[in-house]
Each structure stands twice: as structure tokens, then as C-alpha cells.
Amino acid sequence: MHIHGSSDDTSVAIVEKIANPRGGDQARIHFLENITADSRAHRGIHPILALESHQENLADLVNKALKSLPSTDDASWVIRLADGSIRRRPDFISATRGPGMRSNLSVGLDTGKALAVAWQIPIVGVHHMQAHLLTPRLVSCLDQAGALDTAAQLSPSFPFLSLLVSGGHSIIVHSQSLTEHKIMASSDDIAMGETLDKAARDILPPALLEQAKTTMYGKTLEQFVFPNGPADFADYRPPITRGEEVAKRKSKWGWSITTPFANTRALQLSFSSVASMVNKIVKQRGGLLSDEERVDLGREAMRVCFEHLSSRTIIALEALRLRGRDEQHINTLVISGGVAANKFLMHVLRSCLDARGFEKMNLVAPPPYLCTDNAAMIGWAGIEMYEAGWRTRLSCRALRKWTLDPEAEDGGILGPTGWVREQAML
């Protein structure tokens, strides 16, 4: 049983790792359901509404999930449901411990503790960002589920480079092991997902904005500017040189969006200027933009953000090479987080890598339903930590801030108190 709730998404999942007689790893998701707080009236996440949504929905989701627990004939390890059916008791509980809104995290973490006590099983407090980074490894096992005649391999293997791009985070991470994730670059201001959401609120026609069913306006913006999907950006050409990358591109409408950090190769990310320039352009027009201009503005905002991320990713790969690391060991680039579902982002990254000599780099992203926050990824991260021997004490508390990097002041994933190490399961 796995629980996630760090922001406005309440999610419960049941994930099972399956033993393959031929070796390797396989997995099944028996249950996964998310409920997102309705904050559309506030045009973004509202902390109190998000907290109330967790409180109102989590118990019902857990109760619903119980019916999807696998059945069993082992009478010594069962849960008897209200309808009289017998289900297999989970081996452990995992719940998001941080980072995120502490009050929201506490709802899920405390629920996980209660289940752990009631069922007398361990709990693993999962790092939210670590779960995103490990999601492709879950996907590789899901793809092999049912293929018991083959020896599935957990993929990608360490080390690999990760891009975590969401509404709250934009970081480039050198993932060296399960618990060692060196942050090579992060946003100095706001995350890319937040930038796209802010830009979307200015760019989208008012009627379309009002019709949006969620506050994930960046997704709505993608659908608006690329209604035909990849066919709409098939003619995209990446910048071949550094000069092309930073050159100002004036549109036929007279405006342009400056590339962040155009005059430096520093391993830093910055996205706030894109949202600010979009807002300035729209205000200069008095909000009176044609749909054609809105489409062009949305495409340009995305292009600048995505090429900036691609540029810093290539600089990170080159930096590892210059440090004497064997770049051939890093042959996979993982893109995770909500923005990873953007098809134009994936196209820009692939095109830029190919143009800059990294055409052999594998580009991996989870399917859209696993890109955004969900309890299945928390479940998988919990499984990997559990099998490595890690448990969390019942006294643990939710963490608003919690870094990935073991060299950070708080010690990264294993830094906070509350961890207990048992013998790793082989």
C-alpha cells in the first residue's frame, strides 16, 4: 500500500514486485487513483483547499484500494475486508515524507503510520524527488509484467543523468546509485512548470482558460499551440552552434523572448524571465492578441524554456567528460516530473542532443500518467529502499525541505533522522 500527498494531489496505489523464475524484475500496479484539489477559482494551488482535499479523500481512497489487494490462501498473512473477502496483507507501507507542504504531507504520512501499526508491518518514508527519478525503473518492470519466460532487466541502471522538471522543481541530477543523486544544476528562481503555467494564464484565450478542468495550464497551453501534436513541430530545427542558441529571434509580431543566461555557460537554470516577458508582451497588447499570435507566443515560450534546459543538460554531460568521468557509462537521460509529458520538450531534447554529438544518448520518460505526482512512483521507490534494507521509524515527521544530494547540508536522502537499516533483501 502506497500513499502520496505533498501538494494538491491525493493518491493511493498498490504496487507489487513479481518474482521471475528466470531472474530479473517485474511489477504490477493493482490499483492507482489520484484526486486533485479543485483550485481553479484561485488559478493555482491553494494550500488550504489542498489540505482539505487530502483530509476528505485519503481514507476513502485507501478503503477503495483494499479491494484491489491480491487474494491469498495463506491464512497467516491476511486482511479480512468488510465483505468477508480475504486479501493479502502488504509487506510494508510507503508514504511520501517530503519535500512538500508539511501539513499536506502529514495527512498521508500519519495515515501510513496508522496502517503500519494496525497491520504490524514496516513503513518507508519516501523522498518525493527520488521517486520521480526512479519512475522509469518501475516502467521497465511494468513493461515486462506477464513475460515470465524472459529475464527482465531493471532499467536504466546506475549511473544516469536525470532531468526533473515539474511545477515545483527544475533540476539536473547525476544519479549514481539508489541514494546518491548529485545535483548539477537547479533553477535559481521558479520551476519550468510554474513558468509554463504562468505563461499559459496570459497566452490562452480567456474562454479556453475558463474551460480548463485543472490548474495544470501548461498542459492546456501545449494542446492549444500544438493541436495536431508532433506534426505541428516536425519542422523544428535545433540550434547547431552556441551563437544560434543565444541569438535573439524577433517574431513577425515584433516581440522576442530572450534566452536565459545567454552570455554564460554556468550550470544554472532560470525560467522566471520567460514568464515575465510573456506577461509584458500581452500587457503591451492590452490582452488583444489574435489566436495566431497567441499560438506563436506559446510556441516561442516553450522553445526558449526547452532549449535552455537542453543547453544546460549538454553542458552537464560535457562537464562530466571534462572531470575525467567516462561518459560512455552515462548512456541514459531520464526526464521525469509533470513537464516530461510535454511532447515538444522531448522533441527539442532529442534534436539538441543529436545536433551536439550525443545522438547515442538514450532518452527515457515515463508515460504521462506516471509523469505527474502519483502514489505508484512512491510505491516503487519504497520497494527499492525496502529491498535495500531501509525502514523508517514511526516517530518520523514530514519534511518541508529535503535535498537529494548527499553532500548537501541536510545529508540528502539518508540525512534526516528516522532511518533504520536492516539486512538488505536479496
Rounded distance, CA 2 to CA 15, Å? 8
pLDDT of 147 reads 54
Give pairs for 69-77: CB < 8 Å, separation 24+.
69/1, 69/14, 69/30, 70/16, 70/30
Q: pLDDT digit string (tens) for 52-66?
A: 777 888 999 999 999
pLDDT of 82 reads 86
CATH classification of 167-369 is 3.30.420.40, yes or no? Answer: yes
Whole-Å CA distances, 403 to 128, 168, 298, 364? 10, 13, 32, 23
Q: pLDDT digit string (tens) for 61-109?
A: 999 999 999 887 776 788 888 888 889 999 999 999 999 888 889 999 9
Task: Assign domain 2-154+373-421 to a CATH class.
Answer: alpha beta
pLDDT of 330 reads 86
**Would you call the peptide bond into 406 cis, given omega within 30 degrees of 0 as the criterion?**
no
- Whether the Cβ atoms of residue 253 and residue 282 lie closer than 8 Å to each other: no
Rounded distance, CA 82 to CA 310, Å? 53
pLDDT of 426 reads 45
**Would you call the peptide bond into 47 cis, given omega within 30 degrees of 0 as the criterion?**
no
Rounded distance, CA 101 to CA 47, Å? 8
Q: Which residue intervals of the chain bear CATH 3.30.420.40?
A: 2-154+373-421, 167-369
Q: Which three cell numbers stand for residue 212?
A: 480548463
E-strand stretches of 20-144: 25-36, 78-80, 86-88, 93-98, 123-127
pLDDT of 199 reads 95
**Would you call the peptide bond into 156 cis, given omega within 30 degrees of 0 as the criterion?**
yes
Please give the biggest Cα pair distance in the chain: 73
Q: What percent of the chain has pLDDT over 90?
A: 62
Q: pLDDT digit string (tens) for 182-226?
A: 999 999 899 999 999 999 999 999 888 887 766 678 899 999 999
